[in-house]
Amino acid sequence: MAYRHRKACVEPPGCNRPPRQTFVRVALALTMVWFALPLAASHTTTSARLLLVGGHVRAAVIVIPGLTWAIRSAATSPAVARG
């Protein structure tokens, strides 16, 4: 009996989104999840909560576009082997 190698991860039909789009969706969803942590901290003042949420927004505004650009340029680079 011959052994057949199967893919460990099978993508669902129609799941051919570019990695950049997937990254942006996941990053934005996780940013929203991180908003819940400062807002749920009952022992902090309102100003501290808003400061923490603002810090998350600033970090997301800086990091997400930079990483998205890196993913896009890596995907279009001729040095990347496409299989």
Top pLDDT among 31 and 75 is at 31
**pLDDT higher than threshold 80 for residue 64:** yes
The pTM for the full model equals 0.57
- Write down the domain spans for the chain: 19-75
What digits encode the pLDDT tens for the residues 2-61?
A: 555 544 455 555 566 678 888 889 988 988 888 888 778 888 898 988 898 888 889 889
Here the tokens at position 42 are: 């009952």
Question: Distance between alpha carbon 24 and the CA centroid of its chain, in Å?
Answer: 5
Give the pLDDT confidence score for residue 10 in this predicted structure.
52
Q: How far is CA 60 from CA 3, 37, 46, 78, 79, in A?
A: 46, 15, 21, 29, 29
